[in-house]
Amino acid sequence: MSTWHDLVTASLIGTERAVVPAVAIPGAPSVANADDPAAILLDRAALLTAARRAGRPPDRADPLPVCEPDPRPAVNQAAGRRLARMLSGEHSYLLTEWLTAVARRGLRPPAGSLPALLDRARRADADLRSLVAEAGGPRARWLARLNPDWDFVIAPVLTGQDAWRLGDPAQRRSYLAGLRSRDPGAARELIAASWRGAARDRAMFLSVLPDNLSLADEPLLENALADPAGDIHIRAADLLAGLPGSGFGERMATRARALLRLHQGVLRVVSQADRAHLIVEVLARTPLGTWTGDFGLTPAEVVALPAGSWAPVLLAGWSRAAVVQRDHDWVDALTRRALTGPPPGSGVEIEALRQLARRADPALGAPDAVPGSRPDTSVTIVLKFRYEMLKELDDDDGN
Amino acid sequence: MEGRWDRARVHSLATDASSLRAAQPLASGRSWPLTGGADGSAVWGECQGSAAAPYRTVVDLSGPAYQCSCPSRKFPCKHALALLLLWSDGAVAADGNPPGWAASWLASRSARASEPKPPADPAAALRRAEQREGRVASGLAELDRWLCDQVREGLAASQRHGYRHWDDIAARMIDAQAPALAERLRALAAVPHSGSGWDGRLLEEYALLRLLAAAGREQAGLPAALRDTVRSRVGFTVRQADVLASATPVKDHWYVLAWRDLDQDRIRTRRVWLRGRNTGRTALVLSFAALGQSLDDSLTVGAEIDADLAFYPAAVPLRALVAVRRDTVPGNAPAGTTIAGLLRGYAAALGQDPWLDTWPALVEVTPARAPRPCLFDAAGDALPLHPGAGESWPLFALSGGHPLTVAGEWTPRGLWPLTAWDQGGMAVPL
C-alpha cells in the first residue's frame, strides 16, 4: 500500500520538514481532530496499522517436494525422550550404540529429532555420519536437500577405485574396509604403498586393520610403532598387543612378568613404589593370555586374586587391555569386579573403567544382574543407562 | 510442617543449569562444617569455600527465601542449593536452634510477615485510587507529547539513539504508575535494529501507543470491555481474587496447545495456550517466576485438563486463571483451521482490540521455504514464519512436505510456531 509507504517516509523525515500525506481508507472517518501535523500523522498511521493488520492478504508459497515414505516405524516415546537427552549431552557417546540398535530392530528415530541428530553427525566422524544417514532414511535425505550443512547424507556414492582416489576420508575408509574384509593382503599392500601420506590418513589405515588381523600385518605395525605423528604408535601398539604371537606382545609379556608375580595365591607387584602409571601402561599392552596361561586360571579367577593396594591399578591396566584386545571373557570378568568393587581413584582408573563400561554386555546393567552392585559408581550408571536404553527399544509402548 | 523436599523440588528452584551444576560438588558434608535446621521451617549452614571465612547460608523454607554471605547475585546461590540438597538427603539435623546470624535474619522475615495489616479505610483507598488515576492521566499526556516529538523530529534519528532514549520515557511511565506502557516502550529500543522494515514497525508502535494514550484519557466514554482492555494495556492490574469473584468460570476440557517462555528484566513469563474441547474457546494462562522461583509446569503440552477457567475482563478475553482443576486426561490432537480462518479470526479480534498483536494460531498447514520460510494451507494461502523463530528445522522434519497441525502465535511479523503434531498425533513442542 503506497499510502502506508508515504506515511513511513514522512515520519522518517519528520513533520517539521515533511508534509503529512493524506490517507484514504474506504468507510473510515477522516481524522483531523488535531492541529499538530505529528499528531495527525500518528492518528492516520494508527488507522492504517489496524486496517493493514486486519486486511492482510495471505502470501503464496512454493511447495517443497514431498518426502517419500519411510516404511519403518518410529521408536516409542520413551526411546524418543532418551534420544533427546543424549542429544542434549547426557551419555552422548552412546548415540552410536543407540543408532545401531535402532537400525537392527528396523526402527527409525522420531522425525522431530532429525535436525539435532544431523547437526551432531555433521561435526562427528564417518561412523556416526553413516549411522545417522541410515537411521534418518528418506526424511534425512529430504532435509539434506534443504540444508547444505547436512549434504553428507546425500553425497554421491563413489564406488571402487573412485572412492579411494577421489572420495572424502569417510568414503576412502569405507573402500579400504571393504577391501580388507574381502582380501586382507590387498588392503595391507594398499596401506603400505600409501603410508607416506598425511598422519590423519595413517590413523585411518590403522582403524581398518582389526578386521582379519594376522601376523602378516606385524611388519607394517612394527614399522608404525616408530611413527612420531599423533597417536599412531599407540594405535599400533594396541593392535600388536591383541595379535596372538606378535613379537611386541612377547616383549610386553616379558616386561609384565617382571613386574607382576603370583606368590602363594597373592599377586605381588615387584617394583619400586610410585610406578603405578608404568604398570598400567605395560599391563594395557600385554596379551591377556599371558595371565590366564601363566597362572592356569580363568579371567574371573585372575581378577579375583588378592592384590592389596595394587588392585585398582591392575584393574585399570587389564581393563584397557580387555578393551583394545576385544576379549569378551576379560571384559565380563572385569566389569563384574568393577560393579562390586570400590570406586576408582585416579583419573587413569576412572577412564579405563568408563571405557570398559561402554563395551561390557549391557545385560550386566539389569537390576540384580550382579549381586552387590554399588549403585553410585560410573560403571554401574553407564551400564544401567545402556541396559534401559536397549530394553525400551523392544517395549511395545514405552510411555 | 511438611516433610523434607525431594531432590527434584530442590532442582526446580535453581535459576539456571550452571548454578545447579556448581552446587552438586558442594552438596556433601565435607563442605559444611556446620549445618542445622528448625523443624521444616528453616535450614542453615556454614560452607567452607575458597575464602578464609566460611559462607553463611540460611534458607527460609516457607518462602522459600535465601540469604547467603557469598557475593553471588543468584537466588538461590550455589551454597543455598547445596545446603538444600544436603537437607533433602537427610544429612542435616532438623531439630536445632539457629545460631545468632541465622536467627536474626529469620526473625526479621517473620516480623515482616506478621506485621499488622493497616486497617481497611475505604476513604483512603478511594483517595489513593484517585491519585493514581490522576498520575496515569498526566503520564498519558506526557507520552502523547513524547510520541509527537519523535515524529516531528523524524524517526530517522532512532537508529542513533541508545537504549537510554526509550528507558527514559519508560521510567517516566513507571513514575506515572503505568507499568505496562513502560514495558512496551522499553521493548521498542530493539526495533530500530530489527532489520529491514524497522521504520514501518516503529511507526506502527508509536501510532498504536498514541491511540492507547488517547483511549486512556477518554476511558470514561468507552464501552466497559474496551475500557478494561485499555486499562490493562496501560498497566492497571486486576487482582486474581477479583477475577475469580466476578467472572463466570468456563467449564470445559482444556487441551494444552503450546507454551512459550519469555525473559524480560530478570522475570520469566510462561505463556500457556489452551483450547476448550466443547466451547472452542482459546485461553492464555500466564505464570511468572522471578529469580529463585520455579515456573508452573503443571500444564503439559498435549495433555487435556478438566477445569473451570476464569477469564480476565477484556474486549477480547484471552487471559484466564485456572479457577478449579479436576483432572488431567490424555488429549487428542486438535484440528486446526485454514489460514483464511486464522486471518478472519484475527481481523475480528482487532475490531475489538486494535492493540492485539499476539493471536493464537491453530492451523492445518504445510511448511515451505520459498519465497521465504512460511506455512501454506490446502487453499494455497501462505503466511510467513516469524523471523525470530529461527530456521524451525524440527517443524520441517516433522512435515516432510506433508500437511500437519501447527499451534503457535500469529503476530504482524509472522507466525511463531510452538507445537506440531506428528503422524501419530503426538504433540511435539518445537
Interval B159-194: pLDDT, tens:
888 889 999 999 999 999 999 999 999 999 999 998
Domain B240-330 is in which class?
mainly beta
Residues paired with B360 in a beta bridge: B409
pLDDT class for B10, splitting at 50, 70, 90?
Answer: confident
pLDDT of residue A26: 66
Residue A16 has its nearest CB partner, among B153, B397, B401, at: B153
Q: What is the pLDDT of residues B14-70, one digit of tens each?
A: 666 556 667 777 888 888 888 888 877 889 999 887 667 888 899 988 777 888 888
- In chain A, residues with a C-beta closer than 8 Å to the C-beta of B155 are 11-12, 14
Q: Mutating which of B346, B393, B398, B426 best tests the A interface, going by the most A Cβ atoms within 10 A? A: B393
B2 pLDDT exceeds 70?
no
Of B77, B86, B41, B45, the residue nearest B62 (C-alpha): B41
B427 pLDDT exceeds 60?
yes
pLDDT class for B230, splitting at 50, 70, 90?
Answer: very high
Of A42, A44, A33, the residue nearest B145 (C-alpha): A42
pLDDT of residue B14: 67
B208–A67 CB contact, under 8 Å:
no
Of B201, B203, B335, B189, the residue nearest B275 (C-alpha): B335
- B105 vs B375 pLDDT, higher one: B375
- In chain A, residues with a C-beta closer than 8 Å to the C-beta of B382 are 58-61
3-state secondary structure chain B: CCCCCCHHHHHHHCCCHHHHHHHHHHCCHHHCCEEEEECCCEEEEEECCCCCCCEEEEEECCCCEEEECCCCCCCCCHHHHHHHHHHHCCCCCCECCCCHHHHHHHHHHHHHHHCCCCCCCHHHHHHHHHHHHHHHHHHHHHHHHHHHHHHHHCHHHHHHCCHHHHHHHHHHHHHCCCHHHHHHHHHHCCHHHCCCCHHHHHHHHHHHHHHHHHHHHCHHHCCHHHHHHHHHHHCCCCCHHHHHHHCCCEEEEEEEEEEEEEEECCEEEEEEEEEECCCCCEEEEEEEEECCCCCCCCCCCCEEEEEEEEECCCCCCCEEEEEEEEEEEECCCCCCECHHHHHHHHHHHHHHCCCCCCEEEEEEEEEECECCCEEECCCCCEEEECHHHCCCHHHHHHHCCCCEEEEEEEECCEEEEEEEECCCCCEEEC
pLDDT of residue A147: 95
A72 pLDDT exceeds 60?
yes
B350–A115 CB contact, under 8 Å:
no
- A292 vs B7 pLDDT, higher one: A292
pLDDT of residue A277: 83
- Residue in chain A closest to B393 (alpha carbons) equals A115
- In chain A, residues with a C-beta closer than 8 Å to the C-beta of B210 are 39, 42-43, 46
Q: What is the mean pLDDT of chain A?
A: 88
Which pTM was predicted? Answer: 0.78
- In chain B, residues with a C-beta closer than 8 Å to the C-beta of A63 are 366, 368, 376, 401
A179 pLDDT exceeds 70?
yes
- Residue in chain B closest to A48 (alpha carbons) equals B204
Read off the pLDDT of each residue in B264-277 and give the average, rounded to a whole number. Answer: 87
B371–A61 CB contact, under 8 Å:
yes
B1 pLDDT exceeds 60?
no
pLDDT of residue A34: 67
- In chain A, residues with a C-beta closer than 8 Å to the C-beta of B430 are 112
Residue B376 has its nearest CB partner, among A61, A67, A146, at: A61
pLDDT of residue B74: 65
Q: What is the pLDDT of residues A110-141, one digit of tens each?
A: 999 999 999 999 888 777 888 999 999 999 99
B117 pLDDT exceeds 60?
no
Q: What is the pLDDT of residues A11-34, one digit of tens each?
A: 999 998 888 888 777 666 655 566
Domain residue spans in chain B?
7-114, 122-234, 240-330, 339-429
- Residue in chain A closest to B354 (alpha carbons) equals A50
